[in-house]
Structure 1
Amino acid sequence: MLRFCVHYGIHFLVPIAIGLYFYKENRLWAVLLLLAGIMIDLDHLVASPIFDSARCSIGFHPLHTYWAIILYIGLLFFRKTRIVGLALCIHIVADTADCLLM
């Protein structure tokens, strides 16, 4: 239960909190963009089985590879892509926490 709460808490509560606190001018837009980071889980559709509770996503799925993570971190350095990079990095942190709690 702890693993579930930590994983999905980071996926949903952290983006909402960051969007509300740091993006006061465009709160709704920021929260929606930050929550959209969960879209990289679409790469689970190419795995067999699609969901395996004993599998760590990091390093396994195409959008969860170390090369992709480096790209997501790189997005943080450019103003136009910063919020997208932040959304993707939050997602990776959530999945890393999930892996560590296995």
Structure 2
Amino acid sequence: MGWRTGLHLFLHVAAPALAARLAWRKDFWKSWAVMTAVMVVDLDHLAADPVFDPNRCSIGFHPLHTVLAVGVYALLSFVPDARVLRWIGIGLLIHMGLDGVDCLFQER
């Protein structure tokens, strides 16, 4: 595993922790756990061959990493009176944002 992959995986845990700390201090552990659990969205990588390619941009390639999916995730972040759904939506947006940044740093 290269340094970029390690950093990417670390940020998938650290960025939700920072968001949880800043926005939901009282519910830190719950919000962090939900936002981190959305990494299950990466199960769509199992449909790809190879399953893991450090130089493949996930955004637009995998079915749950499309612009349409990101739109749905954005809508989830605004569901009124549904804390957990908002955490899921925000966690997914953080995830997609990190994957998007990773696309920018890929070796071409």
TM-score normalised by length of structure 1 = 0.89
Match of 1:89 in 2: 93
**Distance in 1 separating the partners of 2:7 and 2:77:** 24
Name structure 2 gaps, 5 residues minimum: none
Native 8 Å contact 1:37 1:87 kept in 2: yes
Percent sequence identity over matched residues? 37
The CA deviation string for residues 55-91 of structure 1, in whole angstroms up to 9 with x for no partner, is 1000000100111011111111213121110000000
TM superposition shift of 1:15: 0.5
Matched position secondary structure for 1:26: helix
Q: Tell me how large the CA RMSD over aligned residues is.
A: 1.6
Name structure 1 gaps, 5 residues minimum: none
Name which structure has the greater RCO, CA cutoff 8 Å, separation 6+.
Answer: 1
**Distance in 1 separating the partners of 2:51 and 2:10:** 22
How many aligned residue pairs are there?
A: 102
Native 8 Å contact 1:6 1:94 kept in 2: no
Alignment of 1:67-78 (within 5 A): 67-78=68-79
TM-score normalised by length of structure 2 = 0.84
